[in-house]
Amino acid sequence: MKLLATGGSGFIGSNFVRYILKKYPDYKVVNLDLLTYAGNLENLKDVEKNPNYKFVKGDIADKELAEKLVKDADIVVNFAAESHVDRSILDSAAFIHTNIIGTHTLLEAAKASGGKRFHHVSTDEAFGHLGPNDPPFNEKTPYAPRSPYSASKAAADHLVMAYYHTYNLPITISNCSNNYGPYQFPEKLHGLFITNLLEDKKVPVYGDGMQVRDWLFVEDHCEAIDKIIHEGKIGGTYCVGGNCEKPNIEITKKILELLGASEEMIEYVKDRPGHDRRYAIDFSKIKSELGWEPRTSFDEGMKKTVEWYKNNGDWWKKIKSGEYLEYYEKQYKPLRIRE
């Protein structure tokens, strides 16, 4: 099996590439990643020399490069995206480029190579947000995105589904809830709060801290994608969740507790504009169809995550100082077929 993972140098993609290489020693994995600010080769340093792994620096929206790599693969798993809501509020151009045009370019490449198997990694944020008593999102929930990030992901999901209906492209989509775990970029809630506290800095809780997210440990998400790409029903979408709804303030207090920090380190700051109030996922379809459910409890996942950041100061300190970007510019040149 030759698997093309796009965005494999980011948080979830790198966890997934490592997971696949370990679980399937005869699979070959090509990672196509543009190495934006969120992509980091150190995320896969431990597998860099594995003969079954190859890294290609490039843009999923580069038509010729996409065509070449998709043609060589048996399956495409599309993680590549701009993924941070706050950045999409400041400037959404890159979100339109990668999440919509990039996904479209990959779909065209999959169509051009005779209908390549295509799995698209998406988010529950495409469904919009919930009130406190609303039932959780499921596969039938209509899309109602509210941030430029979630709108761009929703657009991509619609394109993926359109390629299934129109061209019979063998696709699947997963809509997953919030992930946490090792290698998460330290601008997202867990990475930022843990590393801030390790640096003796305060943690910025938006608004009243009562926004609810459903949290899934990243390895469990990798396992769900593994199940879907091997056993998922073509044309199917799968809601993936952690059965772990928590308000942000509870996550914050858990991190403070695990690091022995006082609640004085909490700083309530101005709320995010259009801040989605609650996400929740009903994952009964993937549970009954594919036998997947989350394995990692909240306590276990939180402990593992905090320990990982404690033991990997080199990784996040280079990111927070910006040093990692200089390193990659020196080491790698973008691969562009046209040049």
Active site residues: 124-125, 149
Residue 176 touches ligand TYD, criterion: CB under 6 A: no
Other C-beta atoms closer than 10 Å to the C-beta of 264 total: 8
Among the listed ranges 58-66, 129-137, 201-209, 296-304, the one in contact with ligand TYD (CB under 6 A) is 201-209
Choice between 159 and 261, CB closer to ligand NAD? 159
Alpha helices for the chain (secondary structure H): 11-23, 63-72, 85-90, 93-95, 103-112, 148-167, 189-198, 218-231, 248-258, 284-290, 298-311, 313-321, 323-331
**Closest CA relative to residue 1, chosen from 25, 19, 22:** 25
Go through 211-229 and write b for each residue having 16 or more CB atoms within 10 A of its CB, e for each that does not. Answer: bbbbbbbbbbbbbbbbbbb
Choice between 157 and 261, CB closer to ligand NAD? 157
Residue 192 touches ligand TYD, criterion: CB under 6 A: yes
Residues in 63-122 that interact with ligand TYD by CB under 6 A:
85
Choice between 43 and 252, CB closer to ligand TYD? 252
Residue 36 touches ligand NAD, criterion: CB under 6 A: yes
Residue 188 touches ligand TYD, criterion: CB under 6 A: yes
Residue 185 touches ligand NAD, criterion: CB under 6 A: yes
Choice between 74 and 86, CB closer to ligand TYD? 86
Residue 244 touches ligand TYD, criterion: CB under 6 A: no
70 binds, among ligand TYD, ligand NAD, none (CB under 5 to 8 A by kind): none
Choice between 153 and 254, CB closer to ligand NAD? 153
Choice between 117 and 261, CB closer to ligand NAD? 117
Task: Kindly tell me the burial class for residue 68, based on how many C-beta atoms sit within 10 Å of its own C-beta (0-12, 13-18, 19 or more).
Answer: middle
In SS3 terms, 150-212 reads as HHHHHHHHHHHHHHHHHHCCCEEEEEECEEECCCCCCCCHHHHHHHHHHCCCCEEEECCCCCE
Residue of 19, 143, 206, 308 interacting with ligand TYD (CB under 6 A): 206
What's the length of the chain?
Answer: 339
Question: CA–CA separation, 269 vs 272, rounded Å?
Answer: 9
Residue 211 touches ligand TYD, criterion: CB under 6 A: yes
156 binds, among ligand NAD, ligand TYD, none (CB under 5 to 8 A by kind): none
Question: CA–CA separation, 120 vs 6, rounded Å?
Answer: 10
> Which are the contacts of 82, defined by CB distance < 8 A and separation ≥ 6?
36, 38, 88, 94, 95, 98, 99, 149, 152
Residue of 65, 75, 176, 205 interacting with ligand TYD (CB under 6 A): 205
Residue 229 touches ligand NAD, criterion: CB under 6 A: no
Strands 53-57 and 75-78: unpaired
Residue 292 touches ligand NAD, criterion: CB under 6 A: no
Where on the chain is the footprint of ligand TYD (CB under 6 A)? 85, 178, 188-189, 192, 204-206, 211, 213, 248
Residues of this chain that bind ligand NAD (CB under 6 A): 6-7, 9-13, 32-36, 38-39, 59-61, 79-83, 98, 102, 121, 123, 153, 176, 178-179, 185
